[in-house]
Amino acid sequence: MASPLNVSVVSANQQIWAGEASMVVAKTVEGEIGILAGHEPMLAILAAGEVRVNTTSGERLVARADDGFLSVENDTVTIVARDAELVS
Amino acid sequence: MGAQLRVYRSKIKSAQTTKKITRAMELISASRIQKAQQRVAESTPYSRAITRAVSAVATHSNVEHPLTVEREKLDTAAVVIFTSDRGLAGAFSSSVLKEAESLAALLRSQGKSVVYFLVGRKANAYFSFRKRDSEKVWTGGTDQPVFETAKEIADAVVTAYNLDDAEGGVDEIHLVYNRFVSMVSQVPEIVRLLPLEVVEGEATESTEVYPLYEFEPDAETVLDALLPIYVESRIWNAMLQSAAAEHAARQKAMKSASDNADNLIRDYTRLANNARQSEITQQISEIVGGADALAPAKK
């Protein structure tokens, strides 16, 4: 498998979560998108909904990120939203 | 008790009372400064992520967004001034107001008219005392800012920016705030917020090939959504910096006030002791003099 993704979930007040993940699934304004390592650079606006992160250790994280956006660059995924929070 | 002694005693009392207050304020600020600094640190990942995203769009696409393009005619400039709600913080508010005044003078010399957005009661008081107009004022909570205020300010300035000149719109937005450098140093800083100057990304000139960015849905929409958030995060950051700087300035001011009170108490205690001593001396010499005067009569 390719190198893992570096994922961070950030809200206005603090960094909520950061770590390595194998896959990130988010819902953008155009539909759901799954991101694996080696994805091309991207900037997307998130629709209301959840972002799912499959960590390298096999856990599944779900975060709520309304009015946010997602950026992918060199296997670094940043999910930014004014009020983001971890659901589970 | 002599009159002089009584005056000194009351001065000592009043210095002691003042010292109690300043000491308490010093301790409060000292405990809050940590929290404020932490909030600045916590908000950094957010603003960094947004700045990176904005500069990515700006460098990887040729979208001309109204918020990034410098207008041909710059008539009006808006200045947002961040001060504190309360005084007793040394030169905190006045230094930022002075900085804003010199910025306004500079803008006027370039032929622009200046409108003000004020944050904090001190700025409001400064302007109303001089009977000067301000566009909008936010007061309350400068020492513990909440994000909603940042959002309101951002909305107000972006709305003003998007208005036409005829309707009272502005062509430039500047922020003036105290930047927290360290516990002992807070520097007033001027930032031009709009039109945007994306600093990051321009430094790396075209030696490397830019990766092709994909925008969803498209670059224009992304920029549309990002820029208000960017403005918001810059204002939020300015508010947090200003809050941390306020606590630091207050702590410093109150520390020196307490030290001064200590000095005063020491000096007045010496004077009071002196007065008491000379009173006693005078009384003794009066008794001795009186006894001497009576002595020959006895014989």
B288 vs A88, residue with greater confidence:
B288
Q: Distance between alpha carbon B296 and the CA centroid of its chain, in Å?
A: 77
What's the pTM value of the predicted model, to 2 decimals? 0.83
C-alpha separations of B21 from B25, B26, B86, B121, B256 in Å: 6, 9, 15, 22, 13
Question: Is 3.10.20.340 the CATH classification of the domain at B23-199+213-252?
Answer: no
Task: Give mean pLDDT, residues B45-74.
Answer: 77
Distance CA B136, CA B266 (A): 48
Of A10, A28, A42, the CB nearest to B49: A10
- Tell me the nearest-neighbour CA distance from A76 into chain B, angstroms: 11
Distance CA A6, CA A70 (A): 13
Q: pLDDT confidence of B223, banded at 50, 70, 90? A: confident
Is A69 in Cβ contact with B46 (below 8 Å)?
no
Instruction: Using the predicted structure, report yes or no on whether residue B209 has a pLDDT greater than 60.
Output: no
Model pLDDT for residues A15-67, shown as the tens digit of each residue: 888 888 888 998 888 888 898 888 888 888 888 888 888 888 888 888 888 77
- For residue B275, the model assigns a pLDDT of 93
Instruction: Using the predicted structure, report yes or no on whether residue B186 has a pLDDT greater than 60.
Output: yes
Identify which of B55, B17, B39, B21 has the alpha carbon closest to the alpha carbon of residue B265.
B17
Q: pLDDT confidence of B99, banded at 50, 70, 90? A: very high
- Tell me the nearest-neighbour CA distance from A12 into chain B, angstroms: 6
Give me chain B's average pLDDT, please: 86
What Rg value do the Cα atoms of chain A yield, rounded? Answer: 12
Q: How many domains does chain A have?
A: 1
Q: pLDDT confidence of B199, banded at 50, 70, 90? A: low
B79 vs A13, residue with greater confidence:
B79
Domain containing residue A71: CATH number: 2.60.15.10
Q: Which residues of B touch A69 (CB under 8 A)?
A: 53, 222, 225-226, 229
- For residue B298, the model assigns a pLDDT of 60
Q: Which domain holds residue A41?
A: 5-86
Is B49 in Cβ contact with A73 (below 8 Å)?
no
